[in-house]
């Protein structure tokens, strides 16, 4: 058992799900890695499901959530794809079709009371086939002073997840930003438009397959090419 820094014992994390073996410093291909670390090899893995006991109040939250879903006629194993304890933090991976119900249960159940969602973050894993796009919600219980995460995924070919604005209205601009940068479509959002990029911008700049681009720069008389045009030193 390890500690999470707050005095809560948590189990050692399960072996992760390997999605890629990366070579070079940045994993760039076709000569894009100019770091000189071409011989570096690293395994990229997502945390795997954790086994009980999770430790401390993590088990209390998991038990209460599963019990509340069962009372609503929803089998927990259908809604919760996996529960992950990693780096002393608790994350529930939720099937996207059940996201709204799970979030509402976490907010309203007296033993849970995660009243606040501090935002949603987008992530793009090119190698996580069929689950390339991830949305990560950060929930805080002011009543119980607890912090957890919800994570949902969607394929590039069908980048839809339900909006949580009806449950947590503060997600309005956060979902717009995630849509703007990652292309995740939040079904049911009241006004899902770009918030940072111009309305006519093509593509989603924080996806891993978005062109790096850039412009050449003159420095002390020398022309420094744009990052995606520099030669490799590996």
Structural domain boundaries in the chain? 2-16+49-211
Confidence of residue 170 (pLDDT cuts 50, 70, 90): very high
Residues 172-204: tens digit of each pLDDT = 999 999 999 999 999 999 999 999 999 999 999
Higher pLDDT, 209 or 89: 89
* Radius of gyration of the CA atoms of the chain, in A: 21
Cα–Cα dist 101/204, whole Å = 29
CATH, range 2-16+49-211? 3.30.460.80
Angstrom CA distances, 182 to 20, 28, 48, 97, 217, stand at 21, 20, 24, 20, 28
Looking at residues 4-17, what average pLDDT do you find? Answer: 50
Q: Are 187 and 175 in contact (CB under 8 A)?
A: no
Residue-level pLDDT at 191: 96
Residues 57-93: tens digit of each pLDDT = 999 999 999 999 999 999 999 999 999 999 999 999 9
Residue 185's CB is within 10 A of a number of other CB atoms, namely: 17
pTM of the model: 0.82
């Amino acid at each position: 058992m390890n500690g999470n820094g707050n005095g809560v014992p948590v189990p050692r994390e399960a072996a992760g799900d390997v999605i890629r073996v990366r070579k070079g410093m940045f994993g760039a291909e076709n000569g894009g890695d100019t770091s000189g670390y071409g011989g570096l090899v690293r395994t990229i893995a997502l945390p795997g499901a954790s086994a009980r006991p999770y430790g401390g109040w993590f088990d209390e939250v998991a038990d209460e959530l599963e019990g509340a879903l069962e009372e609503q006629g929803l089998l927990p194993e259908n809604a919760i794809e996996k529960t992950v304890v990693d780096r002393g933090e608790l994350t529930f991976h939720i099937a996207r079709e059940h996201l709204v119900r799970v979030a509402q249960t976490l907010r309203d159940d007296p033993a849970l009371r995660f009243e606040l969602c501090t935002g949603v973050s987008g992530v793009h894993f090119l190698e996580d086939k069929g689950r390339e796009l991830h949305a990560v919600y950060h929930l805080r219980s002011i009543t119980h002073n607890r912090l957890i995460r919800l994570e949902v995924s969607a394929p590039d070919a069908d980048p839809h997840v339900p909006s949580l604005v009806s449950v947590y209205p503060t997600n309005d601009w956060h979902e717009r930003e995630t849509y703007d940068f990652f292309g995740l479509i939040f079904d049911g959002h009241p006004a899902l438009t770009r918030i940072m990029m111009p309305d006519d911008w093509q593509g989603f700049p924080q996806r891993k397959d978005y062109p790096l681009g850039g412009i050449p720069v003159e420095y002390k008389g020398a022309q420094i090419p744009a990052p995606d045009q520099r030669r490799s030193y590996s």
